[in-house]
Amino acid sequence: MPLEIAVASGKGGVGKSTVSSTIAIALSRAGRDVIAVDADADAPNLHLVLGVDRWDREIPHSGARVARVVDDLCTGCGACAQVCPYDAVRVLGDGRYWISPVLCEGCATCGLACPVKGAIVREEVTEGRIRVARTRYGFQLVSAALDPGRPNTGKLVTEEKDLARRMAGEDSVIVLDSAAGIGCQVVSSLAGSHIAVLVTEPTPAGFANMRRAHTLTKHFMMPAAVVINKFDLNPGVTSEIESYARENGMEVLGRIPYDDSVPRSMVMMMPHIEAFPDSEAAKALMGIGNRVVEIARDWKGWWFEHRPRKIEPYKPVIISPRRVKR
Ligand code: SF4
Ligand code: SF4
């Protein structure tokens, strides 16, 4: 069974792609068969970090459905416009009803409200592409790009993971660079993965968002490890993060110092460890990558030692409209 490592953060811009690319390169240098997956279909950027500028394969992805008014049958009663929760139905200058394919979420409410059978149809549309390229570091990258205005990003990430799993061998390692936040894309990248690496910065917002991402990993009974980026900018919060990690059985894989050469490597479209291998940040990153290589050698033992001790399913707060006091 291939090992799946999901790099997540709960907050954007904390260095997730820098850490993901380092882990993928370190594993590849150690002789592991690696497949990197950019699991941020809204704003993919791992290909930029890895210097990929052309794709070997592009697979159109469809699945989303949007509604369309059939002009010949529509009587112009306006019921669809009244019920659409996304305000996607418009009346054109000539009085025809039209549904914006960008605003429509395909919920089918208009079709239920329409009194004329067949006047509204739902049609499948292309919602994005899954791309595959071999990086100059020897391993393959799977990346997705969602078309503007299309929903179903979580579904697209699931399709990417399924493709990576089909490409992987028994001993491969799949490294997923998750999206920011804790939304459907992150849920899709964590589901079925074995290890989460949570990247954070020592700011109150970074720490709070890391804890939110940790809640999700506990929901999936996944062991999580921590990387603290720019740890030296706020020693107080760094020490709070380390205490939190200790109390929750999370290994701190490493601390990366602030280094102004990191943004310069992004401009160069190179992983930081390749662009500035002698920088302090690159040394810390390689320490993290090498630690993941060690863990990957016997990941089941590490998993057993660090897994959550009890199931902590996330319980969403459901607000019933009837209970909301006006
Ligand atoms: S399918 Fe839903 S979102 Fe699309 S037009 Fe109909 S009611 Fe609006
Ligand atoms: S509800 Fe049906 S008939 Fe009425 S305006 Fe919309 S598409 Fe036309």
Q: Is 242 exposed, middle or buried (0-12, 13-18, 19+ CB in 10 A)?
A: middle
Residue with CA at minimum distance from ligand 1 atom 8: 84
Mean pLDDT is lowest, of 1-10, 146-155, 278-287, for 146-155
Residues with CB under 6 A from ligand 1: 67, 84, 86, 88-89, 99, 104-110
Q: How far is Cα 93 from Cα 71, in angstroms, rounded to an integer? A: 14
Please check the confidence at residue 93 and state whether its pLDDT lies above 70: yes
Please choose, from the candidates 314, 303, 4, the residue with its C-alpha nearest in 3D space to the C-alpha of residue 178.
4
**What is the best residue among 71, 98, 120, 122 to mutate for testing ligand 2's pocket, by most ligand atoms within 8 Å of CB?**
120
Report the pLDDT value the prediction gives residue 325, as an integer from 0 to 100: 53
**Range 144-149, long-range pairs (CB < 8 A, 24+ positions):** 144/38, 144/39, 144/41, 144/44, 144/61, 145/41, 145/44, 146/41, 146/42, 148/102, 149/101, 149/102, 149/103
Does pLDDT of 321 surpass 60? no
pLDDT at 323: 56
Q: Which of 84-93, 142-151, 237-246 has the lowest mean pLDDT?
A: 142-151
The mean pLDDT value of the chain amounts to 91
The Cα 212–Cα 229 span in angstroms is 17
Pick the ligand that lies closest to the CA of residue 123: 1
Per-residue pLDDT of 205-228, as tens digits, reads: 999 999 999 998 998 889 999 999
Q: What is the mean pLDDT of residues 274-283?
A: 96
Question: Which one is predicted more confidently, 102 or 244?
Answer: 244
pLDDT, tens digit (0-9, with 9 covering 90-100), for 160-208: 999 999 999 999 999 999 988 788 888 888 889 999 999 999 999 999 9
Give the pLDDT score at 82.
96
Burial class of residue 282 in the structure, from the number of CB atoms within 10 Å of its CB (0-12 exposed, 13-18 middle, 19+ buried): buried
CB 83 less than 6 A from any atom of ligand 2: no
Closest-lying ligand 2 atom to the alpha carbon of residue 79? 1
> In degrees rounded to 5, what are phi and psi of residue 217?
-65, -35
246-264 mean pLDDT: 94
Quick one: which of 198, 139, 145, 146 has its CA closest to 174? 139
CA-nearest residue for atom 4, ligand 1, is: 104
Q: Given a cut of 90, is residue 151 above it in pLDDT?
A: no
For 296-320, the pLDDT digits (tens) are 998 999 999 998 877 777 776 666 5
Distance set, CA 168 to CA 33, 37, 48, 177, 325 (Å): 8, 12, 23, 17, 53
CA of 107 to the centre of ligand 2 (A): 16
- How many C-alpha atoms does 146 have within 13 Å on its Cβ side? 23
- Name all domains of the chain by residue range, CATH numbers in brackets: 3-52+135-306 (3.40.50.300), 62-126 (3.30.70.20)
d(CA 249, CA 35) in angstroms, rounded, equals 28
Atom of ligand 1 nearest to the CA of 105: 3
Q: Which atom of ligand 1 is nearest to the CA of 122?
A: 1
Task: Identify which ligand lies nearest to the alpha carbon of 69.
Answer: 2
Which amino acid is located at 144 in the chain?
A
Q: Is the CB of 34 under 6 A from ligand 2?
A: no
Probe residue for ligand 1, chosen from 65, 69, 84, 87 as the CB with the greatest number of ligand atoms within 8 Å: 84
| Confidence at 65, pLDDT banded by 50, 70, 90 | confident
